[in-house]
Chains A and B, each alone.
Chain A
Amino acid sequence: MSAAAAGLGVVALACVPLALGDYGLSLAINIVSYTVLATAWSLFSGPTRYVSLATVAFFGIGAYTTAVFAETLAWPLVLLIAAGIGIVVAGIVGLSTLRLSGVYFVIFTLGLAELVRQFVTWYEVNKTRTLGRYVFTDITAAQIYWQLLVLAVLVFVAGFLIGRSRLGLALRAIGDDETVARHSGIDATRAKVALFVLSTVFMTLTGAIMAPRWTYIDPAIAFNPVISFTVLIMALLGGVHRLYGPVMGVVPLALLFEFLLARFPNHFSIMVGLVFILIVYAIPQGIAGLVDRTMRRPA
């Protein structure tokens, strides 16, 4: 029943590009891409409570893969390469930091985007001798939207399946108390790394799919830290302990940011910072947490 409803909803969403103009479509692309990013983020950070600040590192890796290969290789192959690079980087980061306390992970991810950005800049300046790249493909905005929609469906299906699997149970146990989880025979490191890799694959693919939107990218655009920040704040507003939570943060905030960016372009980061602090203090459990509480109250 609910699966049928979800299917109908996806079909309705797939028709959106036919109904909207260019501006509406670009807003819709924005919302769907942040839905994928925020849901993927909370897929890992929700149950484990490891705050990842590296979303844009993977997003940027994806975008750059497209910029480098889109003109010479077939599109599915480009996506495959992007996912591959994302998996390798996530594996290295995960294996080296996730065995340790959560703070190390936060610090490492805080610098990861900067590190990758500097590395790409260094490579471009010294080896290819140009800093920017043009992305010329014949992919239309509507096609980007549909690809992102497919990715969104996949991330929800993945989240749903994980929630019902042994891995999901293990992760919830780790989030509650890692020491207890380890004593119950859970290989905590393996579970965390596996989920981290899975969540970053979605981020990398989002970046790869979004790259043709820009036509020109350089490291500062592809690895803009504001993207990591936006994803974090959207996921937190929505609530990370429910699969549907992040979406509820994405929609209002994407619209709000669109408005703020148009009205106060020079004070955008102050406004976003204030909104963020407000969320941390006022609704620590997110909108999904509020919904849970009001649902429970009458019973």
Chain B
Amino acid sequence: MLLEVTLSGVTLGGMYALVAMGLTLQYGVARIMNLSYGELLIAAAFAAFWFYSGLALNPLLGLIVVPPLAFVASYAIYRYLLQPLVRRAKSRDQLEVDSILATFGLLFVIQGVMLALFGGAYYSYSFLSVPLQFAGATVAANRLLALVLAVVIGLGLYLGLTRTRLGTAVRAVAVDPVAAQLVAIDVRTASALAFALGGALVAAAGVLVSMFLTFNANLGVVFTLKALIVVIMGGVGNLLGALIAGLILGLTENYVATFIDPGLTLAATYAIFLIVLLVRPQGLLGRANR
């Protein structure tokens, strides 16, 4: 029992970590606090659902098609919707407020479109939901597959950011956008790239999540919220921190839901968030620089 709960907690935590990695790119590098982030995840989940139920295609095919589309869409959103705000902003605080407001409006637009298309009902589909025996515990194959893919994607991102020139440039912008310009890094392009990459990541997470969770058009804000909490818990811009914080969150939620009461998971999430805010406001692995 405990092992099963732990395993499904790790799966959920892995998803949270993946979602949070995308957000930490958007917020840490492009400096956009994107409140419509979770809507993209739900949109990708709907796309995977449509692939499977509408076109009778493997949802894993969605993993190849949907993230590139999300990349393009996020790039367009950044380029046409957010860059004017970046130019207008006199300070980082100003940009933060403006981007919160603009993406808050975007949240309602995307959510409204999904509500118009799919209604408020809950959706799910049954793909690879066969039980597997794993060290004496039973796990659904789709959960395990989602976890493995999340690990692969996360590892790929980590290597890409630490081992390539472009990745190093992106990290440099996260540390200091002004100093990055001094060493001939095109901050504007790097920011747009990071924002678009964040969008692709959350879309990939959406496809994975749709394989084992039921979802509806209103669920996006819940994922945004959890991603934000994970990002802040782990330290803004810190991928490893996001991983640890995501796992903590996923495990806590599953333990609370199983052993205490499913209705109190959000309360537990908030309790952890509050403790981190009060004890380590810069995040578990973050540096104090503000």
Contacts and interface: CB of A to CB of B under 8 A. Distances in A.
A108 B274 CA distance: 9
B266 A274 contact: no
Given A273-B108, A280-B101, A281-B102, A119 B278 contact: no
B109 A274 contact: yes
A238 to B, nearest CB: 14
A289 to B, nearest CB: 14
B60 interface: no
Contacts of B277: 96-97, 100, 104, 108
B147 to A, nearest CB: 26
Given A104-B232, A106-B100, A114 B266 contact: yes
Interface string B268-290: 00100110011001000000001
Contacts of B273: 108
Nearest to A228: B104
Interface string B75-113: 000000100110010000100111011101111111111
B112 A270 contact: yes
Given A108-B277, A267-B112, 6 more contacts: A104-B281, A107-B228, A121-B263, A125-B263, A269-B108, A276-B105
Interface-central residue, B93, B107, B108, B111, by most chain A CB under 10 Å = B108
A266 B222 CA distance: 22
Nearest to A266: B116
Given A102-B93, A118-B266, A268-B112, A276 B104 contact: yes
Given A121-B263, A126-B263, A269-B108, A114 B115 contact: no
Interface string A276-289: 11001100100000
Q: Secondary structure at chain A's binding surface: helix, strand, loop or mixed?
A: helix
A107 B232 contact: yes
A261 interface: no
A103 interface: yes
B115 A111 contact: no
B35 interface: yes
Contacts, number: 114
Contact of B225 (A104, A107, A271): A107
Contact of A229 (B93, B104, B113, B115): B104
Contacts of A107: 225, 228-229, 232
Contact of A126 (B33, B97, B261): B261
Contacts of B244: none
Interface of B: 33, 35, 81, 84-85, 88, 93, 96-98, 100-102, 104-113, 115-116, 221-222, 224-225, 228-229, 232, 261, 263-264, 266-267, 270, 273-274, 277-278, 281, 290
Contacts of B116: 266-267, 270
A110 B261 CA distance: 23
Contact of A236 (B101, B107, B263, B266): B101
14 contacts: A49-B93, A49-B97, A97-B277, A104-B232, A104-B277, A110-B228, A111-B229, A114-B221, A114-B266, A118-B263, A122-B261, A125-B263, A232-B104, A270-B112
Interface of A: 49, 51, 53, 96-97, 100-104, 106-108, 110-111, 114-115, 118-119, 121-122, 125-126, 225, 229, 232-233, 236, 266-274, 276-277, 280-281, 284
Contacts of A53: 104
A118 B261 CA distance: 12
Given A100-B277, A126-B261, A236-B101, A115 B108 contact: no
A49 B84 CA distance: 20
B232 A273 contact: no
Contact of B267 (A101, A119, A233, A270): A119
Contacts of A229: 104, 108
Given A103-B96, A106-B33, A270-B116, A111 B108 contact: no
A122 B102 contact: no
Contacts of B108: 229, 269-270, 272-273, 276
